[in-house]
Amino acid sequence: MSSSTTLYGGAQGRRVTIRDLAVAKERGERWPMLTAYDAMTARIFDAAGIPVLLVGDSAAMVVYGHESTLPVTVDDLLPLTAAVVRGSSRALVVADLPFGSYQASPAQALESAGRFMKEAGAHAVKLEGGRRVLPQVEALVSAGVPVMAHLGLTPQSVNTFGGYRVQGRGQAGDELMADAKDLERAGAFSLVLECVPADLAQRVTASLAIPTIGIGAGAATDAQVLVWQDLMGLTPGPARFVKQYADLTGVMDQAVRAFADEVRTGAFPAPEHTYT
């Protein structure tokens, strides 16, 4: 990445790489990340210049209708990841390793990550946890798989946390800091910080050479990520950290009702929508 090309929206004619993200960190350049689960939205986000797209295990909830991220499987996420890769041409596509696909051993993690890389064309994978997953991170990086780490509120551990709660207060903040440094040493190229106090996220960001990506972690992280359905106003009762930039629920409701009314009254299809 040349010094004159910004990460967000820059016309590169190639995929963003983890090296580009590292250079952006060195330059103090902030950047956005969004989830994506299909080719059409991936194409829109890619054209808008979003440099990193995450095929999140949040698909369990926003695509498959589950109440948490836990039920989604590798086989569920593989076709979604492949679609996002096909729908984009510039963004770095990161695939979430779902619950139960990497915790057992480094070998299991490598098998799961290998499927996302080989079968779906993902450029990196994401996994949750601190010191307990260091062997998995080291094995993946050694095998050539870029790893995005994830600390704080890790949704796959929601049952252990007793719900979706802010993490990292008090002594837990020191533990999170230690985990962050360990993950960097293990080779992670970036770190998601979810639902942690802003001052802690700021200290972690300042202490790491790799970029941090915040979601409910204040404004001091190197990047910010949101689930796209949250950003677009499709999610009822969004979390406090969500800013809704559009009201697609209202737009879609209005369009569907108009379509239904025109079908009922016979106004649609009109002659211009009819073949002779």
Cβ–Cβ under 8 Å, residues 20 and 3: no
Cβ–Cβ under 8 Å, residues 87 and 43: yes
Shortest CA distance to 92 belongs to which of 14, 188, 38, 183?
14
d(C-alpha 174, C-alpha 207), whole Å: 12
Return the amino acid letter for 223: A
Q: Strand, coil or helix: what is 155?
A: helix
Catalytic: which of 175, 194, 262, 272? 194
d(C-alpha 85, C-alpha 94), whole Å: 9
User: Among this protein's residues, is 194 annotated catalytic?
Assistant: yes
> Per-residue DSSP letters for 46-58?
HHTT--EEEE-TT
Shortest CA distance to 210 belongs to which of 54, 50, 53, 23?
23
Return the amino acid letter for 153: L
250 by Cβ neighbours in 10 Å (0-12 / 13-18 / 19+) ranks as exposed
Q: What are the structure tokens assigned to 101, written together?
A: 């696909």
Strands 223-226 and 31-35: parallel
Enumerate the active-site residues: 194
